[in-house]
Amino acid sequence: MSKLDYINKHLFFYSLICGIGAIIYGWEVGIASFGEKFGLYRFEKGSGYVATDDKNIREMIITPSFTVGGMVGSLLVLWITDSLGRSKSLRISAVVYFIGAAFQILGGKIIYLCIGRFIAGIASGIASTLCPLYLAEISPKEIRGSLGIINAIGLQLGMCFASLYDTLCLKLITKNMEAQWRVALAGLAIPSIIFLLIVWFLPETPRYLLMKNKNDQALKVLANIREKNTDDPSVSNEFNEMSNRLKVELLDGIVTWKEAINTKSILYRLIIVSVLQLLHMLVGVNAIGYYSTQIYSEYLNLSLPKYGAWLATLNNFASFFLTLPAMRYIENIGRKPILKWGAFALGCCMVGIYFKCLLFARTKDKIYGWICVIFIYAFTVIYGWSWSSVVFVWQAEVFPLRMRTKANAVGTFFQYVGSMFVTATTTTLMKYLSYNTFLIYAGFCFIAYIFATLCIRETKGLALEEMERLYGGDSVPSKEEIKVNRNIKEKTGNDIISA
């Protein structure tokens, strides 16, 4: 069967809803700061807009407020998801998103902006944890990686819309500065309202329903997602395989934190996911995403009024369109090679950005500035194709159901920790270290390459219930071992059900 044969209208629609949840996150990340209103810039005759003396301090407060909220949201997942379910938790995040957007739009001071970003961050932490997990639990294993990338594509698309919308506000609303920033921030309401309206159509995942012993409902939901009857052989086989394995897996109940710490294979995976998500941010994507216009103006002498906003917008659109092929190749290439070689390529791009900034500083030749822009574009495209696409897919796959929610919450929490570290320190690092800052991020990229090479094991083509074997022993199982393990688990499950 072709991979397209596994996709139907219901699966596409549910994936689209999760993608819109990611679009909101991308829109929040991509939104312009409108710095004069919030004290980042001041206008001087003859010089135009210049940075205020405390710009880096203000940015250290405004920018991380969203990521701090994300940390809180990812921790809330621990308490609400296994009790309320995946779909209800995403509905809560939609409501919270809307409240956070309203605070930013209706406020007018830096305190309201930070509170609104913090509230939106809470919603983002919930959605960022659950959307990849939800997609993993409803997807056929043959296209689970491809559908998992929808989360990354939604993030890129949100950043595209945000940068284009903000650029149009900057260029078209030039006389009324109050209207300019309010209209720009009002753009947040567009994806927030759409998500709030359609998230109610998401059904609960069959695996969660099985975990709650709602077998009949789980079968109906699975049949609905596959657009087949409950007595269809393919649905029956998938349901029986899923049910038998989960019943065996859940005999010991949901993993407690004590058990997770005392179980070597689970603890090892938790450490891997935590470090992976830290590196996910420490490679420097937010340094490029948030401060690209500062790089263009301060290190490359490119005019912000003429080029800055449009360069950032074009960068986001290039990243979005060139991330789309990852949906096809993740199932062919696999997760590990994409993470490994993606990190290596990101490191090379960071080194290239540093050297082009250095050459421009010494020669003032604008050709080096434009080549540096190409390196910045290449970095964001490679990141979108590799780490942005694959990290959450791998994280959502590699844990057993009875530990999956906790593990995804831990991973997402450390993603926000890494994001907060980068967003809070980059502006100060660039103030005192200038473009040498990019060498620091290049170092993290090469650390990520070594980490992916040594610690990541391939999950391509395995059912979610087979992942336990990956880190259950000292070696990765062969195909023959997986088949034997399947037969043993099915026999054990049937024996237990019969008893």
Residue 123 falls inside a structural domain: yes
Residue 103 falls inside a structural domain: yes
Residue 36 has a pLDDT of 63
Handedness of CA 164, 361, 427, 288 (dihedral sign): positive
246-305 pLDDT, tens per residue? 777 777 677 888 888 888 888 999 999 999 999 999 999 888 877 777 787 777 777 666
119-154 pLDDT, tens per residue? 998 998 899 889 888 988 898 877 887 777 787 788
Residue 262 falls inside a structural domain: yes
Domains identified in the chain, total number: 1
Residue pair 37/171 in contact by the 8 Å Cβ criterion: no
Low-confidence ranges of the chain (pLDDT < 50): 473-486, 488-499
Domain that holds residue 135: 3-229+247-461
Residue 1 has a pLDDT of 56
Residue 196 has a pLDDT of 92
Residue 242 falls inside a structural domain: no
Using DSSP's 3-state secondary structure scheme, residue 44 falls into strand
Residue 104 falls inside a structural domain: yes
Residue 378 falls inside a structural domain: yes
Residue pair 96/119 in contact by the 8 Å Cβ criterion: yes
| CATH number of the domain where residue 156 is located | 1.20.1250.20
CA distances from 374 to 246, 285, 317, 414, 452 (A): 49, 15, 14, 30, 26
Instruction: Look up the pTM and report it.
Output: 0.74
Residue 274 has a pLDDT of 95
Q: Could you tell me the maximum CA-CA distance found in the chain, to the nearest angstrom?
A: 85
Residue 398 has a pLDDT of 86
299-304-308 Cα angle (round to 5): 90
Residue 412 falls inside a structural domain: yes
Residue 498 falls inside a structural domain: no
Residue 482 has a pLDDT of 43
